[in-house]
Amino acid sequence: MIKEKIWIKAARNDSWIEQKRRCKYCYTPLLKSEVTADHVKPKSKGGVNRRENIVASCRHCNRIKDSMSEAKFLKLIKQKPNSEIPWPIQLIWMRRKIFIQTDRSCKKILNMVGME
């Protein structure tokens, strides 16, 4: 059990670095202490503790995703919110939108000044 926890922590940290230190779902920048390991295919639905099944996510996304598949969760958070969408999903959608736009703007600025 201890070996498994160490392995999951290592997989989580690898994912965090591969994801440019951001949440897989909402793109929020994460400190190492804020990262959680999320199972792409939830363990409750047969998911395993393998590197390809673990991504780095913020606590909020991990908690809201719960036992949803990655595909179902991404579909939910990518659709434009309406009154029928629960507010926690709407918050994730807003954070995701803000960080995507911020990244695009930063890239444009870097291109304009010749730094990219």
Helix (H, G, I), strand (E, B) or coil at 46: coil
Instruction: Indicate whether 1 pLDDT > 70.
Output: no
Instruction: Indicate whether 116 pLDDT > 80.
Output: no
Per-residue pLDDT, averaged over 83-101, amounts to 94
Instruction: Indicate whether 108 pLDDT > 70.
Output: yes
* CA 115 – CA 24 distance, rounded (Å): 26
CATH of the domain at 32: 1.10.30
Q: How many domains does the chain contain in total?
A: 1
Q: What pLDDT band is residue 107 in, cutting at 50, 70 and 90? A: very high
Mean pLDDT of the chain: 93
Domain that holds residue 19: 2-112
pLDDT for 5 equals: 85
Q: 3 or 65: which carries more pLDDT confidence?
A: 65
Per-residue pLDDT, averaged over 111-116, amounts to 88
Residues 16 and 55 sit within 8 Å (Cβ to Cβ): no
The pair phi, psi for residue 24, each rounded to 5°, is -60, -30
